[in-house]
């Protein structure tokens, strides 16, 4: 059971010192800073802590849960305490998923360096493990947990307790037979390799052995021809099946002789099925595989709502960590609510709530550092500007000075195109989305004022003659949805009225600090709906100039948008408004989203930062469906699963029928360009499922699997297996479901494993979500993820997937 980690534990000086343990200060807040004794355990995989060196310790974290180690200078919390603790003595442990960071302060710079180097070494070693090494490490961890008295041997009593920890309730006589078979030394204990044999007996995959024997003529091996037939007929690997078979045998067959003879043994067959090549997610869809040269409005864009919040919308903490976490999840549109702050420095928080405040310049500095670490495709900064003139000027300065070349401040090559630029053209650029004083066309025209006025007069009925009005009347994110009917009446007023309104707004004095938004509402006969909620908000030209391709405009109607707005204009919709439009005018919404970008944000009633399901809006081609990324749940599972494809770039190409401005597609009454598909899902078995409550040793789960299908309304279906009593270690279901899918191009599949309870709601164990277009057919393993989206390795379920055309459609 030796591994690289075990070897390093006895040779690496940093790891040796970490195993001795050190006193460090654990920092939760500016006021909670307590000394604790931290020690790396002998397994090299867990760190425990206690109040003092000799006190009872408890688990702090596992190395497999750690994503990276940051220096003290990069910690928002430790920077606040820099006068109390030198930043060089501090460091931050960053975990996968949504688990809060752990900030620690060592007694000296040297001790901090020891822990930073040692932890990063262990993290790198874990990340570099292949499947077999991960399995060996997992077996080693189970032995450590089962060996209660830590004497290096496991008695039968300890083995019985281990079975409960492993989530399986086994007949005592059967367990004893397995134990005695593995105990070749007849010492009534298991050591080293004996425990490995015991573990293999426990994890014997009868269903895989039966599958192997079905395809093998002698039940001992798969010949090259037999393996090719299996790959072609069952795994649907139609292209170059023979070359693929040779490659897989060379990769997964443990016997050198087997590799030379081009045959696959049972062990090799199981290794293949449990590998990335046997995974349900098509590996061809993991890197960037889509065309990234199409206009921005041809893509779904991974988007975040109120990105700065770590918890709820009323009292939650605001932190730059929210931006880092969102960017790590592949987010490409982040949101900033910015308000006037003390000392002339704009601040970010959820206005008129008790959420904490952070500096805007710290947010921009964080974006400058992390914007392109996880995806180099364009990042959209959605700006909700509530600042006065002076602080807007400061906003513009910070954006220009901190982002530098990353900030897109002019059109590509200074030329206005008849379509939006592509993600490829905008790689490495931050785009500001916000209000703008003029159109992009006006920004790049190089003509004198008289010619410009003549052109405006000639085209006043063909285009929006007063875009300043739209820009100044756009309260970003909080649309005037409740007053849409009134707005529509206003926008349909005679051109003469619009001329008056537009001329009023075009007056230079109205943009001077200290002047009013409009000298007199009555003087210009402006309806109340044309005034800002905060009439002191006057747009600063310096900030306006930084909005290049994403000018926010209010939505009045699809007809108005089509006749008055440009390709660079973008409207935001509340979830309720967007849902209403999908149901009442689905095809018009599709065509609107084929012409220009749109963003949908959660209801203001979601004060708990809950999420709506994005699928309904994706069906209509909505590009930026903003999610509260701090909140786990099925909605975020769908979002994460969908954007896992295409390199996790945050951009996914929409189906062709959602990019056509003449499209006839209606998500409420869909007709696919292709035939409907039948999806056959056989849920076969599960492996090493985790406990729902790890604190209850004797508690064993009763697992069931629910298969959920999301897409257009008539494709939304779900089916579930029966539950298996008292077996989370190797449950077997063997149940088959059939789904008819009308629009497979929009379908998403979610597998959820739950613990059955007859007294309450079934409890979540794990899940995996993926798009239909990225799903492999055949016998596949599904690696389960936690509620936070982190790996539950080695927990998985084994399924069979088959897709085919629905032949019943052709029948009269």
Over the range 256-274, which residues count as b (16 or more CB within 10 Å of their CB) and which as e?
Answer: eebbeebbbbbebbbbbbb
Annotation says 197 is catalytic: no
CA 236/CA 720 separation, integer angstroms: 25
pLDDT score at 673 = 60
Six token digits for residue 147: 């060996």
CA distance 120 to 15: 11
At residue 439, the pLDDT reads: 57
Cβ 278 vs Cβ 781: under 8 Å: yes
Identify the pLDDT of residue 3: 66
How far CA 82 is from CA of 90, 169, 322, 792, in Å, comes to 9, 52, 22, 37
Burial 325-347 (b: 16+ CB within 10 A, else e): bbbbbbbbbbbbbbbbbeeeebb
Report the SS3 class of residue 268.
helix
| Three-class secondary structure of residue 123 per DSSP | helix
The Cα 621–Cα 300 span in angstroms is: 8
Beta partners for 309? 318
Cβ neighbors of 156 (< 8 A, separation 6 or more) are 175, 176, 179, 188
Report, in angstroms and rounded to the nearest whole number, the Rg of the chain calculated over CA atoms: 30
Instruction: Check residue 482 and report its DSSP letter.
Output: G
**Tokens linked to 476:** 């970003």
Which residues, other chains included, contact 777 with Cβ-Cβ below 8 Å and sequence gap of 6+? 235, 236, 801, 802, 803
Q: Is the peptide bond before 478 cis (omega within 30 degrees of 0)?
A: no
Return d(Cα 411, Cα 431) in angstroms, integer. Answer: 11
Residue keyed to tokens 């930062």: 609
d(CA 452, CA 614): 43
Spatial distance between the Cα atoms of 200 and 178, rounded to a whole number of angstroms: 10
Q: E-strand spans in 245-355?
A: 264-265, 299-301, 303-304, 333-339, 347-348
Element (H, E) at 572: strand 569-574
- Residue 694 has a pLDDT of 67
Nearest in space to 91 (alpha carbons), one of 107, 811, 83: 107
Question: How does DSSP assign 605-665, residue by residue?
Answer: T-TT-----SHHHHTTT-SEEEE-TTS-SHHHHHHHHHTTSGGG-SEEEPPGGGT-TT---
Largest CA distance in the chain: 102
pLDDT of 143: 78
CA dist., res. 614 & res. 621, Å (int): 11
Give tens-digit pLDDT for 402-453. Answer: 999 999 999 988 766 789 999 999 999 999 999 998 655 555 543 333 333 3
Beta-bridge mates of residue 675: none
- Token pair belonging to 406: 């990353």
**Whole-number pLDDT of residue 692:** 85
pLDDT at 417: 74
Q: Which of 49, 298, 305, 386 is catalytic?
A: 305
What is residue 148's predicted lDDT score, i.e. its pLDDT? 73
> In sequence order, what are the residues at sequence separation of 6 or more whose Cβ sits closer than 8 angstroms to the Cβ of residue 260?
none
Q: Examine the residue annotation and report whether 350 is marked as an active-site residue of this protein.
A: yes
Q: Does residue 232 contact residue 243 with C-beta atoms inside 8 Å?
A: no
CA dihedral 520, 522, 527, 528 (to 10 degrees): 60
CA distance 390 to 406: 24
Q: Please tell me the predicted confidence (pLDDT) of residue 471.
A: 38
The answer to whether the CB of 568 falls within 8 A of the CB of 431 is no
Residue whose pair of structure tokens reads 């083995």 in the numeric block = 159
Question: In whole angstroms, what is the distance from residue 350 CA to residue 310 CA?
Answer: 12
511: three-class secondary structure by DSSP: helix
pLDDT at 697: 65
The active-site residue out of 298, 350, 393, 781 is 350
Enter the pTM of the model: 0.83
**What is the b/e burial string over 397-427, where b = at least 16 CB atoms within 10 angstroms of the residue's CB?**
ebbeebbeebbbbebbeeebeeebbbbebbe
Length of the chain in residues, anyone?
A: 812
The count of C-alpha atoms lying within 13 angstroms of the C-alpha of 345, restricted to the half-sphere facing its C-beta, is 12
Closest C-alpha among 532, 522, 477, 124 to residue 334: 477
Structure tokens at 788: 């936070």
Helix, strand, or coil (residue 755): strand
587, exposed or middle or buried, with CB in 10 Å at 0-12, 13-18, 19+? middle
Specify the pLDDT at position 449.
39
Q: What angle do CA 172, 176, 182 make, to 5 degrees?
A: 150
Q: Which ranges of the chain have pLDDT less than 70?
A: 1-3, 150, 415-416, 438-537, 672-674, 694-698, 807-812
In which order are the strands placed within the sheet that holds 717-720? Answer: 717-720, 703-710, 748-755, 763-771, 778-785, 791-805, 677-687, 732-741
pLDDT given at position 695: 59
Helix axis angle, 172-182 relative to 193-202, nearest 10°?
Answer: 140
- Distance separating alpha carbons of residues 527 and 245, to the nearest angstrom: 72
- Cβ neighbours for 144, distance < 8 A, ≥ 6 positions apart: 41, 42, 43
End-to-end CA distance of the chain: 64
Q: In what order do the strands lie in the sheet with 102-105?
A: 58-62, 46-50, 33-40, 22-27, 102-105, 90-95, 66-71
Residue 362's SS3 state is helix
Rounded distance, CA 691 to CA 145, Å? Answer: 15
C-alpha dihedral, 538 to 540 to 543 to 545, nearest 10°: 120
Confidence at residue 136, expressed as pLDDT on a 0 to 100 scale: 74
Query: Phi and psi (nearest 5°) for 571?
Result: -115, 150
Specify which residues 385 forms β-bridges with: 338
User: Tell me, what's the pLDDT at 672?
Assistant: 60
Give the C-alpha separation, 458 to 478, whole Å: 34
């Amino acid at each position: 059971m030796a591994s690289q980690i075990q070897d390093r534990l006895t040779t690496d000086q940093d790891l040796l010192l970490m195993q001795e343990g050190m006193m460090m200060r654990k920092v939760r807040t500016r006021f909670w800073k307590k000394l604790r004794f931290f020690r790396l355990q002998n397994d090299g995989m867990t760190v425990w802590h206690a109040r003092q060196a000799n006190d009872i310790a408890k688990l702090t974290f596992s190395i497999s849960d750690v994503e990276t180690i940051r220096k003290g200078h990069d910690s928002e919390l430790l920077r606040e305490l820099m006068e109390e603790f030198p930043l060089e003595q501090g460091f931050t442990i960053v975990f996968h998923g949504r688990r809060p960071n752990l900030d620690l302060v060592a007694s000296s710079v040297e001790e901090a360096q020891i822990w930073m180097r040692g932890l990063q070494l262990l993290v790198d070693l874990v990340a570099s493990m292949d499947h077999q090494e991960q399995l060996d490490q997992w077996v080693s961890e189970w032995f450590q947990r089962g060996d209660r008295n830590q004497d290096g041997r496991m008695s039968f009593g300890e083995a019985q307790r281990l079975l409960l920890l492993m989530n399986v309730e086994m007949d005592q006589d059967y367990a004893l037979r397995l134990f005695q078979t593995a105990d070749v030394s007849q010492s009534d204990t298991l050591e080293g390799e004996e425990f490995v044999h015991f573990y293999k007996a426990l994890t014997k995959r009868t269903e895989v052995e039966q599958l192997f024997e079905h395809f093998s003529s002698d039940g001992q091996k798969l010949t090259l021809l037999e393996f090719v037939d299996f790959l072609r007929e069952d795994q649907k690997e139609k292209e170059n099946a023979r070359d693929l078979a040779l490659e897989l045998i060379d990769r997964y067959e443990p016997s050198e002789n087997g590799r030379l003879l081009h045959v696959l043994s049972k062990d090799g067959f199981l290794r293949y099925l449990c590998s990335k090549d046997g995974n349900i997610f098509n590996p061809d869809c993991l890197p960037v595989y889509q065309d990234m040269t199409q206009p921005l409005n041809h893509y779904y864009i991974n988007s975040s709502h109120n990105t700065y919040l770590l918890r709820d919308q009323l009292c939650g903490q605001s932190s730059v960590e929210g931006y880092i976490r969102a960017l790590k999840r592949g987010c490409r549109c982040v949101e900033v609510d910015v308000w006037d702050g003390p000392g002339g420095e704009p601040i970010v928080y959820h206005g008129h709530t008790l959420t904490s405040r952070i500096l805007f310049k710290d947010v921009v500095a964080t974006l400058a550092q992390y914007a392109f670490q996880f995806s180099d495709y364009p990042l959209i900064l959605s700006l909700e500007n509530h600042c006065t003139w002076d602080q807007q000027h400061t906003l513009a300065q910070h954006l220009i000075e901190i982002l530098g070349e990353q900030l897109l401040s002019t059109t590509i090559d200074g030329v206005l195109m008849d379509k939006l630029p592509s993600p490829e053209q905008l790689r490495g650029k931050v785009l500001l989305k916000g209000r703008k004083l003029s159109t992009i066309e006006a920004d790049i025209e190089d003509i004198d004022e008289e010619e410009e006025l003549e052109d405006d007069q000639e085209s006043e009925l063909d285009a929006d003659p007063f875009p300043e009005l739209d820009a100044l009347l756009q309260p970003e994110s909080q649309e005037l949805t409740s007053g849409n009917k009134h707005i529509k009446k206003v926008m349909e007023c005679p051109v003469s009225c619009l001329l008056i309104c537009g001329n009023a707004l075009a007056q230079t004095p109205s943009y001077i600090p200290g002047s009013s938004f409009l000298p007199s509402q009555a003087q210009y006969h402006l309806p109340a709906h044309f005034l800002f909620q905060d009439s002191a908000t006057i747009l600063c030209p310096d900030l306006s100039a930084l909005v290049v391709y994403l000018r926010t405009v209010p939505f009045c109607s699809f007809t108005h948008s089509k006749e008055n707005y440009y390709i660079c204009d973008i409207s935001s919709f509340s979830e309720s408004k967007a849902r209403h439009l999908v149901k009442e005018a689905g095809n018009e919404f599709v065509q609107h989203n084929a012409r220009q970008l749109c963003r949908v944000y959660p209801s203001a009633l979601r004060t708990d930062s809950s999420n709506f399901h994005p699928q309904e809006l994706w069906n209509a081609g909505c590009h930026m469906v903003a999610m509260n990324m701090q909140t786990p749940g099925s909605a975020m599972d769908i979002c994460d699963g969908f954007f896992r494809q295409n390199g996790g770039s945050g951009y996914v190409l929409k189906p062709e029928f959602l990019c056509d401005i003449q499209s006839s597609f209606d998500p409420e009454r869909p007709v696919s360009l292709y035939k409907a598909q039948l999806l056959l899902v056989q849920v076969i078995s599960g492996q090493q499922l985790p406990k729902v409550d790890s604190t209850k040793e004797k508690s064993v789960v009763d697992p069931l699997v629910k298969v959920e299908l999301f897409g257009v309304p008539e494709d939304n279906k779900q089916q579930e297996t029966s539950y298996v009593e008292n077996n989370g270690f190797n449950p077997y279901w063997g149940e088959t479901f059939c789904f008819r899918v009308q629009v497979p191009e929009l379908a998403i599949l979610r597998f959820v494993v739950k613990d059955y309870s007859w007294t309450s709601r079934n409890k979540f164990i794990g899940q995996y979500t993926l798009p239909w277009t990225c799903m492999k057919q055949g016998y596949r393993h599904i690696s389960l993820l936690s509620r936070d989206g982190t790996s539950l390795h080695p927990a998985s379920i084994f399924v069979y997937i088959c897709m085919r055309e629905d032949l019943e459609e052709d029948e009269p």
